[in-house]
A and B are shown apart, each in its own frame.
Chain A
Amino acid sequence: MIGAWLSGAGGPLLSGPLSHLCTAKAIPGKVCAVFRTELRKDKEIERFAVFMKTVKRSKTDSEMNQHVTAELADPVNIAPAGQDDVVRLVDLKRRFGATPALDGVSLTVRKGEILGIIGRSGAGKSTLIRCLNGLERPDSGDVFIEGREIGRLGERELQPLRRRIGMIFQHFNLLSAKTVEDNVALPLKIEGRPKAERLARAAELLDLVGLSEKAKAYPSSLSGGQKQRVGIARALAARPALLLSDEATSALDPETTRSILALLKDINRQLGLTILLITHEMEVIRSIADRVAVIDAGRIVEQGPVWSVFAEPHSEITRSLLGGIRPQLPAEIAGRLLPGAGAELILRVDVAGEAARGPLLSDLAVAVPGPFRLVHGGIDHVQQQSVGTLFLAVVGNDARHVADVIAFLKAREARVEVLGHVAGSV
């Protein structure tokens, strides 16, 4: 713990035990800053000292304000270091040759949540998840697991830490020469637990995943879904604080995928286990994730609660990943869109939350008389939130009428996009 007395242009600025700079604001005459958690590393302490010197040198309040703003804009200093963060990544970078796999990723995973990271293949997902248990080393940046920085730990120091982190894989990675129960018990064998305890724990976990009767079977006799259940049981054996899921359902059929995801959600609820999963399927995110982070070319381009990202995707990549599960304008209509005039005007209407639950269309019909049709779309339910996308065709060429329709929808907090006209009826 460090104590500091910061004084600048306007007299004493700050006093008391200091630590990580969280928020700071220059107000006339002084800087108000809030610091949380301890400064743990020399690097941070040094950086903070430099920052204070710079602030002290400020001659005017606005200059001081600038310094503080610049400091806060740096993710290294504003990443919150809450006690509830199981994982905190700060400005992680990793290159393979000339191509950056991770290009400055900062991310936190909170205790008890399911965070989904989605991206196309080659976006850096696998590298990212492997940085969390040290299977991959970042070139720069910090990886905090339960508050402890692991990026620079040696292989030997990482080993006990990895036991706190379970991992499941796309291709299950079960040992073919061991029985199901021996596979599940392996993490405990590595920990050096006595055999009786290992087998008791394995039995308990196989019961949890519904495979008790397969304890003595070999993995080759199991189906894909059963293998992944064994993988999950094995990942849970050493009672981890965090479960990493590397495309765990990508090799499974849709029905099995659903049952595996339901199992993961169950485990998350029952055991309060924090889960970080990577996937290229939005359906997986939608089914179980609480929050989603979209990764593209080694950067997190978007993150937030799943329903809000679904309702209002900001980046092109997110929209494209959502394409498969959100309504899209049917191709045959999209191909006939004209910029000028036509018999019908096609609108895309996105609604979320309250707006999506209300009688939007019947209200529209009453408020703005005139024919319109629902061409395509629907209301979806994500995390108990309603998220809808509707494609409406407004019949006729009356610009005033169209403007009224759009104004009404916007008043209901819908996002409206004019896609174009179509000549005949579609």
Chain B
Amino acid sequence: MSPVLFELLLRSIWETVLMTAASGLISLVFGLPLGLALIATERGGIAENLWVNRALGAVINGFRSVPFIILLVALIPVTRLIVGTSIGTWAAIVPLSIAATPYYARIAEVSLREVDRGLIEAARAMGGNRWTIIREVLVPEALPGIVAGFTVTLVTLIGASAMAGAIGAGGLGDLAIRYGYQRFETSVMVAVVIVLIILVCGIQWVGDRLVARLDRRG
């Protein structure tokens, strides 16, 4: 591999890491409250409101059913509004975040639903309000699942970011297609795949270690 290509590889790694980390963080910040809202408003939840619950569910399902490559293009006006441009790495972070947030909300919802209802009842019996239940019971008890779900989301984002090349965002996927596939540079293709494997394994390993440390359920 030529020094130029190597430099290109390094830049692509940085772009992928940036896109994954930024959109992952945004999906965590918005997805977790969304998951909490889904759990709280469902039947028998701590803030039961079936209309809100159905509306949230419909919006989430709507975003999740649009193929990412379509979302990438369809969101161009939104991206331009937020970032000021519709091309480049930062521009890709907007559709990536918008796709990952409902995805992560669903994953968080599943973990939160697994929290024993008896624990919520105990907190209510102690005189706790909704905020107490969220802060002291729901989130801490579901934390292992919330972290494990975040790991899954990050790995999914690495895959999705490969498509971001379509709007000139760069990244490892883009490099593999343009150099490895279209220019028959097998060494680039192999290098990209190896880097991706290392990246995914690394994220999974850190995530698993964190979950093991957090899980006190014995």
Contact = CB atoms under 8 A, between A and B. Distances in A.
B137 A175 contact: yes
Interface residues of B, number: 22
A160 B123 CA distance: 13
A25 interface: no
B59 interface: no
Q: Is the interface of B mostly helix, strand, loop or mixed?
A: helix
A123 B114 CA distance: 28
B121 A189 contact: no
B218 A186 contact: no
A176 interface: yes
Nearest to B216: A218
A135 B121 contact: yes
Contact of A159 (B129, B137, B217): B129
Nearest to B46: A155
A162 B126 contact: yes
B121 A162 contact: no
A189 B126 CA distance: 10
B136 A162 contact: no
A189 B119 contact: no
Interface in A190-224: 190-191, 218-221
Given A159-B128, A190-B127, A220-B217, A177 B143 contact: yes
B35 to A, nearest CB: 17
Nearest to B137: A175
Contacts of A173: 116, 118-119, 121-122
A376 interface: no
A220 B126 contact: no
A171 B118 contact: yes
A167 B216 contact: no
A309 interface: no
Indicate the member of B116, B118, B214 with the most A CB atoms within 10 Å.
B118
A352 to B, nearest CB: 38
B159 interface: no
B125 interface: yes
Indicate the member of A155, A177, A191, A219 with the most B CB atoms within 10 Å.
A177
7 contacts: A162-B127, A171-B118, A173-B119, A175-B119, A175-B140, A187-B126, A220-B216
Interface of A: 133, 135, 155-156, 158-163, 165, 167, 169, 171, 173, 175-178, 186-187, 189-191, 218-221, 234, 238, 244
